[in-house]
Amino acid sequence: MSNGGDEFQITRIVAGSAARHAALHLAFDIEPPPAEGTSAAPVADLLASVRRKTVSIDLLLGAYRGRELVTACLAAESPGAAALVFVPGKLETDVKYRATVATLKSLQALAWDRSIVILEVLVAPGRGVLGDLLKESGFRYLTRLRYLMRDATRKGRSFKAAHDLEWVEYAPDRELLFQRTVEETYTQSQDCPELTGLRRTAEVLAGHRATGIFDPALWWVAMRGDKPVGVMLLNRIPHRPVLEVVYMGVAHAARRTGVADALLQRALDVGARMGVVGLSLAVDQRNTPARRMYARWDFVEKGARDAWIVTSPRT
């Protein structure tokens, strides 16, 4: 395949290709790559996800000029019609810049053919040239994500959490309950509202299940009487004693009634029983109410990334 004009040959780099090792590391800005048979940490983590079958790396493209591999981009596809794109940020030459734009455009065409709906790139703040490249490639800036961590070993302050809730754990026959509750929490949400409705809720939950290590005992719907009022989805992070909040939401009608505090308290209590040392999450920086709540619960910012997205023309 090629969409790079006469200058570049855009090629899908398949499993077993002699170039695959170098291309994967190039997509992660690791040049030169380590010797064959070993992988740098981020690539090793990705390959572990591939072995767990929560990620596919079939969409790895390289741009060649003659025999030279100029650049490589990867769409790491997860269940749920979404993929996280890895793009080299070291754009030291105009040739590499143009090759990367051509590669990203080709990657989008392949992604839409595979029924992927959203491609997302996470960029360290301040990477101006990379932002220009993404814009030229068809991506648009979404928001800045703030990554927060809470020490789970330390008892926090007490809040007026709701005490009238019952907890329902996830099971396959409760999938529709979880879908319906998540949809209720989207109403007037300030957390990446541009993404609402782009994918079916079943696809969204499939994507959440593929994040980290899924354990149905760590997914709950909070019920108030016969009404679902909130949802907490926790996954374990591989090789770390940390739980990740992959999604947390409160139904619009139940907000400011202590449900969010109850969800967080339950997450910390369960984490303490499991022996984890931290609770992590990401929040849209525009979501002021959520950020205030996490600050009350002593979450501390550990990093930030700018999210850029492009969506299928079918959405």
Residues 6+ positions from 22 with CB-CB distance below 8 Å: 33, 69, 72
Q: Which 3-state string (H, E, C) describes 113-168?
A: HCCCCEEEEEECCCCHHHHHHHHHCCCEEEEEEEEEEEECCCCCCCCCCCCCCEEE
Q: 217 lies in which domain range?
A: 148-303
Q: Domain containing 256 — which CATH number?
A: 3.40.630.30
Cα–Cα distance between 175 and 172 in angstroms, integer? 5
Residue 231 maps to a domain? yes
Q: How many domains does the chain have?
A: 2
Q: Does one domain contain both 153 and 106? A: no
Q: Does one domain contain both 154 and 294? A: yes
Residue 299 maps to a domain? yes
Q: Does one domain contain both 131 and 203? A: no
Q: Does one domain contain both 161 and 123? A: no
Max CA distance (Å), the chain: 68
Sequence-ordered strand ranges (E) for the chain: 9-12, 56-65, 68-78, 82-86, 118-123, 140-151, 166-169, 219-224, 227-236, 242-250, 278-284, 300-311
Tokens of 228: 């679902």
Question: Edge to edge, what strands does the sheet with 242-250 contain?
Answer: 9-12, 56-65, 68-78, 82-86, 118-123, 300-311, 140-151, 278-284, 242-250, 227-236, 219-224, 166-169
- Residues forming beta bridges with residue 220, ordered by sequence position: 169, 232
Q: Does one domain contain both 152 and 110? A: no
Q: Does one domain contain both 252 and 217? A: yes
Residue 314 maps to a domain? no
* pLDDT value of position 184: 96
Residue at a domain's end among 138, 160, 190: 138
Residue 131 maps to a domain? yes
Cα–Cα distance between 53 and 150 in angstroms, integer? 29
Residue 1 maps to a domain? no
Residue that the structure tokens 């997860």 belong to: 78
* pLDDT value of position 232: 98
Burial class (CB in 10 A: 0-12, 13-18, 19+), 50: middle
Whole-angstrom Cα Rg for the chain: 21
Q: Does one domain contain both 258 and 157? A: yes
Residue at a domain's end among 138, 173, 204: 138
Residue at a domain's end among 138, 163, 186: 138
Q: Does one domain contain both 78 and 158? A: no
pLDDT per residue, tens digit, the chain (315 aa), is 666 667 899 999 998 899 999 999 999 999 999 998 899 999 999 999 999 999 999 999 999 999 999 999 999 999 999 999 999 999 989 999 999 999 999 999 999 999 999 999 999 998 789 999 999 999 999 999 999 999 998 876 666 777 899 999 999 999 999 999 999 999 999 999 999 999 999 999 999 999 999 999 999 999 999 999 999 999 999 989 999 999 999 999 999 999 999 999 999 999 999 999 999 999 999 999 999 999 999 999 999 999 999 999 987
Q: Does one domain contain both 15 and 80? A: yes
* pLDDT value of position 3: 64
* pLDDT value of position 298: 94
Q: Does one domain contain both 95 and 176? A: no
Residue 185 maps to a domain? yes
Q: Does one domain contain both 170 and 257? A: yes
Residue 309 maps to a domain? no
Q: Does one domain contain both 155 and 298? A: yes
Residue 3 maps to a domain? no
* pLDDT value of position 153: 86
Residues 6+ positions from 187 with CB-CB distance below 8 Å: 251, 252
Given a contact cutoff of 8 angstroms between Cβ atoms, the answer to whether 299 and 148 are in contact is: yes
Cα–Cα distance between 258 and 251 in angstroms, integer? 12
